[in-house]
A and B are shown apart, each in its own frame.
Chain A
């Protein structure tokens, strides 16, 4: 840079006096920078989570839309079909039931004429009566007596040929017309329950944490006097309060047996707690990170927050600094029905919950336990939680309502393994859920 001739003593003095001056930015600045630099990675996970949620929702909608459970498809060879009426006559001759709807189409398939149907119920005069399985009833019959022998004597190839035959084509069309006519029957069709169900749940919860130091805490390492008869338990060096958070999510369940259910889903967690801190002048606090026997790496952060409980004297104005996490979890687990009586049952459930932190505001204790600092880099983005719950489930017609307490514990420490203090969060909540069988 070319210096102008005008630059003299005054400029030099200004430069010297102001050039080295330091001001400490607030935490907001680094947090904003961090978010802007690392949002792409976060959005990948959010996008992935949303995509997974959409897939789950899509599967759910498809399963709701298709009343035919995959495990209950009946295939019949052509020879099983006999000529006769299209009506199903039950043993109870007082009622006549139709084989309903779109699921019982005639499908020409590899070497066989396939007929698919759910074990369905049809209603006559408001009364539900189980329909007979077409094969077992033995009375599912084609409308045209002359078509059956033709089909009976031909394999797939002859069937395909038959489709090209104008006479046979018109017959097959008449079958389809008859099917369509049946599908518009005013009779109400109620599918039978399947093994799948889904639930939606919401839990107000309170969150708290427990701390454990991986290094030995001695009075020398503290650098201040601890007036505490409880010894050097790190939990006594902080003052904290639980705060209210919540969880909301949805699961798909599969009934293994009448008592055991497997479940998997997506869950959104918001948990928080507060810690007492004194507001002091901006200062630099050191956090030592250590891996194995290697010498610790100091990381410096500026902060205006002192850990009041970590100091012997009164530090100044006390404030409660909020610590909060927003997570997306994938709970996978099982439920067991302990007791069933009348309209309700008593259950217990447990889940493993791999979790990804979408957003967090976390304060760490500095290595001398005297300051609270914010350092998002030291936060573990992936974690594993476990959940345990017990609940009562009440039958309310099509849906079941469940209520009961739940406990959630974070298995891995909140911060990376080189940070010497392990923090484990836990939530205690009250779960309210709605369960509905997928038909």
Chain B
């Protein structure tokens, strides 16, 4: 079934088309939700709410960009709204731990397994994780993130810097990311 046929079916609230649409996009979107959520169950709740919003707003899709991008945007906003509702951002963040880490752009791994990386992202405190997900993976800028999360733009930047450093450290410890030479020497 082509994308246009699917969209037409969904616009007419055809259950078969809706299911096909869901089957096509839900696996990718669940992984998006999973990066934001506390656990898989929460991720599925986010996915459910997200798809209900998608089906109820599908007439607003204007074919200006990719359908998947539009779906992803709604899913991300749903995740953020659900996190806000559950006051997940109030969880404390170990800033001191993050501060001593520095960003090392050169530390690029040869192979990174997606699932392992996602699990490492999920090890970050929720506030860091959210900013990192939005900036590094979803491609939002800090201004947009500050508006979405109701925080200062500078806060978003500093949270991201710390989140990135912390993630890098986790990836190195998990041997997913290669340590930079100076750190490798220090460890030895």
Q: How far is the CB of B183 from chain A (nearest CB, A)?
A: 15
Given A9-B105, A20-B28, A21-B115, the answer on whether A30 and B15 have CB atoms closer than 8 Å is no
Partner of A375, one of B19, B34, B157: B19
Cβ–Cβ contact A3 & B121, under 8 A: no
In the complex the two chains form, what is the Cα distance from A301 to B55 in whole Å?
19
Question: Contact: B137 with A25, CB < 8 Å?
Answer: no
Asked if A62 is at the interface of the complex by the 8 Å CB criterion, the answer is no
Say how far A34's CB is from chain B's closest CB, in angstroms: 7
User: A34 to B15, Cβ gap below 8 A?
Assistant: yes
- Provide the residues of chain A in CB contact with B55, threshold 8 Å: 33, 37
- CB < 8 Å: which of B22, B28, B44 contacts A22? B28
Q: Are B140 and A1 in contact, CB atoms less than 8 angstroms apart?
A: yes
**In the complex, what residues of B have CB within 8 A of residue A7's CB?**
135-136
| B20–A10 touching, CB < 8 Å | no
Which of A11-19, A88-96, A154-162 forms contacts with chain B?
A11-19
Contact in complex: A17, B114 (CB < 8 Å): yes
Complex contacts, B121 vs chain A, CB 8 Å: 14, 18
A302 at the interface (CB under 8 A from B): yes
Tell me which of A9, A302, A378 contacts B23 (CB under 8 A): A302
A3 to nearest B CB, angstroms? 7
Task: Given A18-B35, A33-B48, verify A25-B26 contact (CB < 8 Å).
Answer: yes
Interface hub of A21, A23, A37 (most chain B Cβ within 10 A): A23
In contact, A23 and B15 (Cβ under 8 angstroms): no
Selected contact of B117 from candidates A2, A18, A37, A375, CB within 8 Å: A18
Residue B139, interface by CB 8 Å: yes
Least CB distance from B126 to A in Å reads 17
Q: Does A36 contact B (CB under 8 A)?
A: yes
Given known A-B contacts A3-B141, A13-B112, A15-B139, A23 and B31 have beta carbons under 8 A apart: yes
Beta-carbon contact of A10 and B112 below 8 Å: no
CB distance from B154 to the nearest CB of A (A): 13
Q: Pick the contact of B16: A37, A284, A299 (CB < 8 A).
A: A299
How distant is A25 from chain B, measured CB to nearest CB, in Å? 5
**Does any Cβ of B come within 8 Å of A125's Cβ?**
no
Complex CA distance for A188 and B99, rounded to whole angstroms: 95
Task: Determine which residue in A24, A29, A34 has the highest number of CB atoms from chain B within 10 A of its CB, and name it.
Answer: A29
User: Could you say which residues of chain B place their CB within 8 Å of the CB of A6?
Assistant: 135, 157, 160
Whether A210 sits at the interface, judged by CB under 8 Å, is no
Main secondary structure of the interface of B (DSSP, over half): helix
**Pair B140/A14 contact, Cβ less than 8 Å:** no
A300 within 8 A of B: yes
Mark out the residues of chain B between 14 and 30 whose CB falls within 8 Å of any chain A CB in the assembled complex.
15-16, 18-20, 22-23, 26-28, 30
Judge whether A126 is part of the interface by a CB distance below 8 angstroms: no
**Which of chain B's residues have a CB closer than 8 A to the CB of A302?**
23, 27
For A22, what are the chain B residues with a Cβ–Cβ distance below 8 Å?
A: 27-28, 30-31
Verify if A26 is at the interface (C-beta below 8 Å from B).
Answer: yes
Q: Mark B107-130, 1 if CB is under 8 A from A, else 0.
A: 111001111011001000000000
Nearest-CB residue, chain B, relative to A300: B23
* From B34, B107, B157, contact of A23 by CB (8 A): B34
Q: How far is the CB of B70 from chain A (nearest CB, A)?
A: 13
Considering only CB atoms, which chain A residue lies closest to B143 in the complex? A2
Q: Which residues of the other chain, B, contact A9 by a CB distance below 8 angstroms? A: 105, 108
Q: B13: CB under 8 A from chain A? A: yes
B19, B48, B117: residue with the most chain A Cβ atoms closer than 10 Å: B19
Give the shortest distance, in Å, between B147 (CB) and chain A (any CB).
Answer: 12
B140 with A300: CB separation less than 8 A = no
- What residues on A are CB-neighbors of B43 within 8 Å? 23
The answer on a CB contact under 8 Å between A10 and B136 is yes
Chain A: CB-nearest residue to B115 = A21
Question: How far apart sit A9 and B164, CA to CA, in the bound complex (Å)?
Answer: 12
Q: How far is the CA of A336 from the CA of B184 in the complex (A)?
A: 93
Q: Is the CB of A8 within 8 A of B13?
A: no
Contacts of B47 in A (CB 8 A): 25, 29
Bound form: Cα–Cα A24–B23 in Å: 9
Nearest B residue to A374 by beta-carbon distance? B19
Of all chain B residues, the one with the shortest Cβ separation from A31 is B48
Contact yes or no, A15 B27, CB < 8 A: no
A32 at the interface (CB under 8 A from B): yes
The answer to whether B18 touches A23, judged by C-beta atoms less than 8 angstroms apart, is: no
Is A317 in the interface zone, CB < 8 Å from B? no
* B22 in contact with A30 (CB, 8 Å): yes
Is the beta-carbon distance between A37 and B52 smaller than 8 angstroms?
A: yes
Which residue from chain A places its CB closest to the CB of B24 in the assembled complex? Answer: A300
Q: How far is B27's CA from A3's CA once the two chains are assembled, in angstroms? A: 27
- Shortest Cβ-Cβ A-B pairs, 3 listed: A22-B27, A377-B15, A11-B136
Can you name 11 A-B residue pairings with CB atoms under 8 Å?
Answer: A1-B140, A8-B105, A17-B112, A22-B27, A23-B30, A26-B44, A36-B52, A37-B15, A38-B15, A299-B19, A377-B18
Q: Can you add 14 more A-B contacts, CB < 8 Å, to A20-B28, A37-B15, A375-B19?
A: A7-B135, A7-B136, A8-B105, A10-B168, A13-B112, A14-B117, A14-B121, A18-B31, A24-B27, A30-B19, A37-B55, A299-B16, A300-B20, A301-B23
